[in-house]
Amino acid sequence: MPELPEVETTRRGIAPHVEGREIREVIVRERRLRMPVPEGIEDALIGARVGTLGRRAKYLLVPVAGPLGEASTLLWHLGMSGSLRIARIGELPKKHDHVDLVLEDGAILRYHDPRRFGFIDWLRGAIETDPRLARLGPEPLSPEFDARRLYALSRKRRIAVKPFLMDSAVVVGVGNIYAAEALFLAGIDPRRAAGRISQARYELLAAAVREVLAAAITQGGTTLRDFVSGTGEPGYFAQRLNVYGRVGQPCRRCGAELQLVTLGQRASVFCGSCQT
């Protein structure tokens, strides 16, 4: 599933091609995504101009201003297999290319999703009040995310630290891949109770989260199966994974065999020697 680095990579890749452009046509080939593509969007967006793209957690925010100045936002979620890329007029759609936004200069923002678990929603009004966004914690690369927050929210919590870190009310966008990698860098056993970890160790974990996510964004995200960037490129962070997907292989740090445990119904690989 595309996580924060993949969505941020997508935003950065498509932004220069869509920001400030007028939408000339909307083509919906398949409405049956995780949520149906909103009715009437094909006509309503004609003549609208795309604003500055944003991202909140794993949601891509595409602000659009109509011909009369009315503002709205397309809330885009890539689901498990979705991707957005830039095509050109004359480039025939492939199987699973479900939605096109055709822009004034001939560029096309094209949504591809084999499993159809992603969605596009059309928000009119303040997006901050949307319940999917209102309850989210801080962005992990923002000043609002730090060890003090992790320590305060974890007190008396018996939940294992890995699912605690993946809770979007604690911090957004730290999915399974990046939680596993951050815990390895911080030397923390993913099974350890969140409430039994000191603030000093949360300092290490917060720094590791920032380091892992920043590196993943620089590498264009992680491609395991389906993800490609807005320019059609895979993400290369998979080549730098220390523990995720490497069960039974030797730890890159100490050589011990990496172990597998299930936490919060998610597989988690770790080093029993390096992570305590």
Is the predicted pLDDT of residue 275 greater than 60, yes or no? yes
Mean pLDDT of 166-192: 96
Q: What CA–CA distance (Å, rounded) separates 2 from 175?
A: 9
Q: Are residues 205 and 259 in the same domain?
A: yes
Residue 36 belongs to some domain of the structure: yes
pLDDT of residue 67: 77
Question: HSE on the CB side for 141, CA within 13 Å?
Answer: 14
How many domains does the chain fold into? 2
Q: Is the domain of 8 the same as that of 80?
A: yes
Q: Which of 56, 58, 110, 201 is catalytic?
A: 58
Share of the chain above pLDDT 70, in %: 92
Given 2, 63, 140, 190, which residue is catalytic?
A: 2
- Sorting pLDDT into bands at 50, 70 and 90, what band is 239? low
| Residue 227 confidence class, pLDDT cut points 50, 70, 90 | very low
Assign residue 254 the CATH number of its domain.
1.10.8.50
pLDDT tens profile 149-164? 999 999 999 999 999 9
Q: Both 23 and 119 in a single domain? A: yes
Where residue 238 falls among pLDDT bands split at 50, 70, 90? low
Write down the pLDDT at residue 236.
Answer: 44
Retrieve residue 202's tokens: 């949360």
Domain contains 140: no
Q: How far apart are CA 267 and CA 103, in angstroms?
A: 42
Check whether residue 19 and residue 62 sit in a common domain. Answer: yes
259 in any annotated domain: yes
**Two tokens at 201?**
């160790």
Based on the fold, state whether residues 179 and 266 are members of the same structural domain: yes
Assess if residue 141 is contained within a domain. Answer: no
Q: According to the model, what pLDDT value does residue 220 have?
A: 73
Catalytic, out of 24, 149, 191, 266: 266
The verdict on whether 266 is a catalytic residue reads yes
Residue-level pLDDT at 48: 95
Q: Do 113 and 173 belong together in one domain?
A: no
Domain that holds residue 165: 147-270
Tokens at 146, concatenated? 């730090």
Q: Is 170 a member of any domain?
A: yes
120 to 50, 59, 224: CA distances (angstroms): 15, 10, 23
Cα 142 to Cα 18, 171, 178, distances in angstroms = 26, 10, 16
End-of-domain residue from the set 104, 134, 164: 134
Two tokens, residue 195: 């409430």
Are both 169 and 127 inside the same structural domain?
no
Residues 110 and 161 placed together within one structural domain of the fold: no
**What per-residue confidence (pLDDT) applies to 204?**
98
CATH number of 57's domain: 3.20.190.10
What does the chain come to in residues?
Answer: 276
Examine the residue annotation and report whether 116 is marked as an active-site residue of this protein.
no
pLDDT at residue 234 is higher than 90: no
Cβ–Cβ under 8 Å, residues 83 and 109: no
How confident is the prediction for the chain on average, in pLDDT?
Answer: 91
Q: Which of 78, 107, 134 lies at the terminal end of a domain, its last residue?
A: 134
199-220 pLDDT, tens digit per residue, is 999 999 999 999 999 999 888 7
- Domain membership of residue 276 (yes or no) is no
Q: Across residues 124-153, what is the average pLDDT?
A: 94
Distance in angstroms (rounded) separating the CA atoms of residues 125 and 64:
12
State yes or no: is 233 an active-site residue: no
Question: Is there a single domain that holds both residue 121 and residue 172?
Answer: no
Q: Which residues are annotated as a binding site?
A: 96, 115, 157
Residues 10 and 81 in one domain: yes
186-190: average pLDDT: 98
Q: Do 6 and 177 touch, CB atoms closer than 8 A? A: no
Which of 3, 6, 8, 181 does the annotation list as catalytic? 3
Q: Summarize pLDDT for 56-85 with one digit per residue, the tens.
A: 999 999 999 987 678 899 999 999 999 999
User: Residue 233 domain-assigned?
Assistant: yes
Q: Binding site residues for DNA, as ranges?
A: 96, 115, 157
Which pLDDT belongs to residue 221?
A: 58
Query: Which of 8-12, 69-73, 105-109, 112-116 is least confident?
Result: 69-73
Annotation marks residue 3 as catalytic? yes
Q: From 113, 134, 155, give the residue that closes a domain.
A: 134
**Do 44 and 87 belong to one domain?**
yes
Mean pLDDT of 10-17: 94
Calculate what percentage of the chain has a pLDDT beyond 90. Answer: 82
Same domain as 157, residue 67: no
Q: Are 64 and 23 in contact (CB under 8 A)?
A: yes
User: Does 213 map to a domain?
Assistant: yes
